[in-house]
Structure 1
């Protein structure tokens, strides 16, 4: 699974249904040995740990891979590394890489690749866990208004969320520093003034400033950014009843969101983290079933 735009609405709904089943206690195990590895070329906590947890819950054989001690440090290419792991018997790889569309060089290999994030491109598993969290809350996406706020231009989460939400029937709007609005995403949403948007949203997705992807140093102090573009306590009071707050993490408290709101009644931030395991179980199961592997339900 490379990006959500390649999945049909029907497949997205099936993965969400499996995710919710897993959240409700359904358990399955692989019926034969399946070998997987997680190749993370960028730092991660939530994504890599939840993939590892999901793999183990499905009964998969997790083969450790350490970027720092691999032959990549001797000049081996990503393509040759993946070919090597396939030759050694790996069935599926979960890859996070700083390059946009790194997966294009791997498309002709007979091995399952799950994209755990490519540069500023896409983050499909985060998109699906966000969809799961919203579906749990509202039951449907039709007619919902979703605001995605912050460093949109550099956010792979914004790309994945916006495309899928729009196709499932939600209205998507962006806000934050206008210089960070990716006009290439116009087909998936429109830019709005944050204070004007706040009273309309059902779902507010706050984004971290991606300092590591900025070519020029960002000059606003954290407190100034928070007052201009962050979810302050004052802005939260203007949200309509039943509206929820989400954030893909990691969170910079007091910058994109007030500390008091991180675990407030509106917040679903830690629910998103919990749902990451269930969603990634569903993603892995679906990808492996497409390759002919099977799973059995267990008590």
Structure 2
């Protein structure tokens, strides 16, 4: 752990998790993302970014591609199913290959927590974490923060309720840590089998009316060792957001979700695009945040 932190300190171009960044740096990235959204331009002709996604992704992968295009970068995209990974090649050797053929940075999503520990300090190009297992998702958290900042103009003293599959959510893990550092009150609610140890929980209906933000998390069926035996109707009744619950929220409160969402499970279809929802704004903001992160890595 200390070796990783030291390597990141010496090469600040990496974006592995937000714990490695101080509050000033986080605000700097958000400011630059907002500038890009307002029309600021930057071009990096000749720079090549390799996108290595070992888990399915729509929003993160495609918004990185869009960010790369808007910055005038070229992209390489690994297709794991037809790569030498099928021959037993390691992640390290795969990344070294992209480094050797001229990639200037690499964006990686992998199913292993902290996969980047075998890379940092051993390769000379920046690593941008597109999500590691149930560990961290720094650019998702940054786009969440940008969306909140646009809505409220601040973080301090805001109250957010994060509901759902806390145990398996890298989004929750990253957001809880950074939001508390930014002065937000973070409440968590989850079924017993979705809780992480060492974290306090509250009743959804007991705190909902006092929240400024409600963030739903997807039930990650693919990460469950045992089948989750509750159906969508029962889950939504206990831990989901529906029109009845939305009606009890404060007038200024907003709804967020990192997506993809399971309609009818953690959120009903009529709530996904209701006036309080900022879900698609989060997706839009993902492009600008990833532009800022790529610029930071390659400027």
Could you state the TM-score of these two structures normalised by the residue count of structure 1?
A: 0.93
**Mapped contact 1:226–1:256 kept (Cα < 8 A):** yes
- Is residue 77 of structure 1 aligned with residue 93 of structure 2? no
C-alpha separation in 2, matches of 1:126 and 1:119: 14
- Is residue 42 of structure 1 aligned with residue 59 of structure 2? no
C-alpha separation in 2, matches of 1:163 and 1:256: 23
C-alpha separation in 1, matches of 2:213 and 2:192: 20
1:241 pairs, out of 251, 264, 268, with 251
- Is residue 269 of structure 1 aligned with residue 269 of structure 2? no
Instruction: Give the drift of 1:33.
Output: 1.6
2:264 pairs, out of 254, 257, 278, with 254
C-alpha separation in 2, matches of 1:24 and 1:178: 43
Alignment of 1:13-24 (within 5 A): 13-24=27-38
Alignment of 1:143-182 (within 5 A): 143-182=157-196
Match of 1:128 in 2: 142
Deviations 1:206-233 (A, max 9, x none): 0000111111110001111011110121
- Is residue 110 of structure 1 aligned with residue 124 of structure 2? yes
Q: CA RMSD in A?
A: 0.9
- Is residue 95 of structure 1 aligned with residue 108 of structure 2? yes
- Is residue 195 of structure 1 aligned with residue 205 of structure 2? yes
Q: After alignment, is 105-114 or 137-146 more displaced?
A: 105-114
Q: How many residue pairs end up in the alignment?
A: 284
Extract unaligned runs of 5+ from structure 1: 290-299
- Is residue 27 of structure 1 aligned with residue 41 of structure 2? yes
- Is residue 281 of structure 1 aligned with residue 291 of structure 2? yes
**Mapped contact 1:222–1:255 kept (Cα < 8 A):** yes
Match of 2:9 in 1: none
Instruction: Give the drift of 1:179.
Output: 2.9
Instruction: Give the drift of 1:4.
Output: 0.8
**Mapped contact 1:147–1:175 kept (Cα < 8 A):** yes
**Mapped contact 1:35–1:63 kept (Cα < 8 A):** yes
Match of 1:2 in 2: 16
Extract unaligned runs of 5+ from structure 2: 1-14
Q: After alignment, is 61-70 or 103-112 more displaced?
A: 61-70
Match of 1:292 in 2: none
C-alpha separation in 2, matches of 1:139 and 1:183: 33
Match of 1:209 in 2: 219
**Hey, which bits of structure 1, 4+ residues long, moved more than 3 A?**
none
Instruction: Give the drift of 1:168.
Output: 0.7
- 1:183 aligned counterpart, secondary structure: coil
Deviations 1:238-281 (A, max 9, x none): 10110000000001111101111111110000000000100100
